[in-house]
Amino acid sequence: MRTAAINRKTNETDIRLTLNLDGSGKSEINSGVGFLDHMLTLFARHGRFDLNLVCDGDTYVDDHHSVEDIGIALGQAFAEALGDKRGVIRYGSFVLPMDETLILTAVDLSGRAYLNYDLHIPTQKVGTFDTELTEEFFLGFVRNANLTLHVKQLEGKNSHHIIEGAFKSFGRSMKQAVAIDPAFSDEIPSTKGVL
């Protein structure tokens, strides 16, 4: 089974999470940041990942440390669950429409951390959530999962829809990328022989 359990404790956050790449999309998430709970629930559901996550963070300061550190821990979980990436399809992409919003994400499990973040979120807040933290989450994830991710807004005016579209599309792209290719299940999908 491709699973991971991450416990990450700093002076700012205490995160405990479990991940099953071959799940059914079930999740129990208590990040301490309501909007992020919603986004991670959607990510897990659309990726068909089983994800359990609890974060005790210093949200009395603001949500920055919790959001960034959850991105870090979730990226670590994907790296651990993927192991040497033997048999994975490696690439995934998805264009997701959500009302007036259209979001493209593309993933390469390359072993090289790179984020191209191209969302233009019109408001500074969605509820109490600082919208600039969306990029911080993705940066933390990419650097620790060691993958390439492009997140591009093709259309969109509503801040909630833009961020939600990004997380849903990301889940769909990751689902494709981490899937096992039955024709090449014992191969690492790289001419270098390593990812």
**pLDDT at residue number 1:** 86
**pLDDT at residue number 18:** 98
Q: What is the rounded CA–CA span in Å between residue 103 and residue 26?
A: 24
- Does this model's pTM top 0.95? My answer is yes
Tokens standing for residue 72? 């870090």
**pLDDT at residue number 130:** 98
Ranges of the chain with pLDDT below 70: none
Q: Are 57 and 39 in contact (CB under 8 A)?
A: no
**pLDDT at residue number 38:** 98
**pLDDT at residue number 174:** 99
**pLDDT at residue number 97:** 98
Give the domains, in start order, of the chain with CATH numbers: 3-184 (3.30.230.40)
CA 135, 32, 62, 140 torsion-angle sign: negative
The tens digit of pLDDT for each residue in 53-87 reads: 999 999 999 999 999 999 999 999 999 999 999 99
The tens digit of pLDDT for each residue in 127-148 reads: 999 999 999 999 999 999 999 9
**pLDDT at residue number 30:** 98
Residue with tokens 């981490």: 178
| C-alpha torsion angle, residues 120, 122, 124, 130 (rounded to 10) | -50
**pLDDT at residue number 71:** 98
Classify the phi-psi angles of 189: left when phi > 0, otherwise alpha if psi is within -120 to 50, otherwise beta: beta
